[in-house]
Amino acid sequence: MHSLTLGDVAHEHARTYTDETATVCYGARVTYHELDERVNRLASQLAAHGITSGDRVLWLGQNCHRVLELLLAAGRLGAMVCPVNWRQSAAEIAFVIDDLAPRVIVWQEEALGDVIREARGQAAHASALWLQHDGGGSDSYEALVAAGAPEAPRVDVDPASPVLIIYTAAFGGRPNGSLLTHTGLLTQDGNLFKLADMWPGFTYLNNGPLFHIGTFMYTVATFHIGGKNVFTRRADPVDVMRLIADEKCTAGFVLPPTIAKIVELNADRAYDLSSFRSPIRMEGWNDMVRQDTTPFGTRSMGGYGQTEVTGLDVYAAYGGRPGVTTAGRPSPWTRVTIVDEGGNEVPDGETGEIVFRGPMVHAGYWNRPEINAYRTRSGGWHTNDIGCREQDGVVAFIGPKTQMIKSGVENIYPAEVESCIERLAGVKEVAIIGVPDEKYVQSVKAIVVAADGAAVRAEDIIEHCRQQIASYKKPKSVEFIDALPRTPAGGKDYSVLDAKFGGGGYPGGSTRSNLRLQGASKWQMTTGTLSRTSS
């Protein structure tokens, strides 16, 4: 009676928003009444194919309204859906197939058929039912829906159970599937409805990728508020213009390169874009889009979060720092602590690991019991990110945790020292490593890339740190390099730097080194645009 799952919302909306449009996807237009029935049919067929509580369904396709339908249908059975990053290689997709061992895989021929066939050939897990979503044959998604019963099987689903799996890129090791729950998604909506000024009828252009929580949290919120989700596989400027104009889209992730094209192509105002609220100010664009509200409503959408806490959990809109997009106050449904290595809270103003508690924290990674145990070791979710709680309650994200350095009894987080040095004029970027030190366990070494033409000196860097941060955190030595080595995921490759510059002696030994590779993906929302930070 007190339960609320995504399936409950679909049932409710069939009554409340009956004939209003739930999804638009190329030729397909589905009302809330039809959505609920399609989900029922799908759920009854998934159940007939053995899908039950805890099972996985894989989506190997681009953006499509069927992802939302699968989410709701799986959720109705206590199962989960994973929209895979289709930009990955066949080997990477095969890894996800084997990692999740899904009972059903829904795949797309157009644009992806070859890579998917290759991945299927490589995967060891061979027992899944494969359904093509963009075909009309007997093994197609639509054939399954057509064969289903209009009444859903009645399954008692725990709202705290996972329903959505999103893989997060690790720094170097294998990616992990974050298990997001009904309650987590429906709670995040309490923030989005308010901060993004969402009302029934809100129309969201799904042009960002659905394998990304930054898009998916808006897809779910738009569904939850009784709005319209418009899907497109491409962020092509003409597609975007046409969809905004035809569907009167309220919001979407339209970025400056696309905007520049649109300004050019729409000079004659052939497309009416006045329904659209864009946080980005560009000449020509400003007077094409809606002017009565600022970015996604009235406040800055900056903040900090990660996939593992269902997107942003610290929002600048609740009180942050002017111009800073990665600081803010926690969502009302979140608890934040900043802890030291022992899991104890550090005083305000000191750096430590950001730990979240509350209903938006995910249910852990799929099939990673050891990492899950480590990352929840204090009873909250350890983000692997370093942050700081300032005197006025603002939580600031500083950087990824990577490898902690030990100097005497003191803990030093490379991200903090890097952030300090990167503020110095003449420095382009920097990586901090620890090198063994007979007296102090380790000492701090900075590997610096100077800005083009800048003549920054080692002593300037050390003196800058002495003035800005605790003296024991300053580097003892500085090396210059032309460019930092990078991991495949784009992060700084500390292993290469350690090998090259004599790094080592880190506390905790090899276990810590492994965990260092499992960095969470971090997101920051810059004036309404969610973008992946460097790590």
Note whether 316 and 310 are within 8 A (CB): no
Closer CB to a second copy, residue 150 or residue 332? 332
Q: How far is the CB of 182 from a second copy (least distance, A)?
A: 11
Cross-strand partners of 396 = 327, 388
> Please, which residue, 105 or 354, has the CB nearer to a second copy?
354
Burial of 127 (0-12, 13-18, 19+ CB in 10 A): exposed
- Which of 12, 118 has the CB closer to a second copy? 12
Question: Is 147:54 a contact under the CB 8 Å cutoff?
Answer: no
Beta-bridged to residue 353, according to DSSP, are 339, 386
Nearest CA among 470, 475, 351, 383 for reference residue 422: 475
Least distance in angstroms from the C-beta of 63 to a second copy: 24
Question: Least distance to a second copy from the beta carbon of 39, Å?
Answer: 15
| Residue with smaller CB distance to a second copy, 103 or 299 | 299
Of the pair 283, 392, the CB lying nearest a second copy is at 392
DSSP β-bridge partners for residue 450: 427
Cβ(220)–Cβ(189) under 8 Å? Answer: yes
Smallest gap from residue 265 Cβ to a second copy (A): 35
> Helix, strand, or coil here: 185?
helix
Amino acid code (one letter) for 513:
S
For a second copy, give the closer residue by CB, 110 or 158. 158
Question: What does the block give as tokens for 64?
Answer: 């499509």
- Least Cβ distance, residue 469 to a second copy (angstroms): 22
Q: Which two tokens stand for residue 469?
A: 């941060």
In the complex, the smallest distance separating the C-beta of residue 25 from a second copy, rounded to whole angstroms, is 23
Minimum CB separation of residue 352 from a second copy in Å reads 13
What is the nearest approach in angstroms of a second copy to the Cβ of residue 88? 30
Residue 17 Cβ vs a second copy, minimum distance, rounded to whole Å? 6
CA end-to-end span of the chain: 43
Provide the token pair at 127.
């027992």
- CA-CA distance, 247 to 379, in Å (whole number)? 45
DSSP annotation of 523: E
Q: Which residues lie near a second copy (CB under 8 A)?
A: 1-4, 8-9, 11-12, 15-19, 160, 181, 183, 186-187, 189-190, 193-194, 199-200, 224-226, 318-319, 329-330, 332-337, 348, 357-359, 361, 363, 376, 379-381, 389, 391-393, 395
How many Å apart are CA 89 and CA 253, to the nearest integer? 25
CB nearer to a second copy: give 190 or 508: 190
Cα–Cα distance, 415 to 429 (Å, whole number): 12
Q: How many alpha carbons fall within 13 Å on the CB side of residue 6?
A: 35
Distance CA 448, CA 438 (A): 24
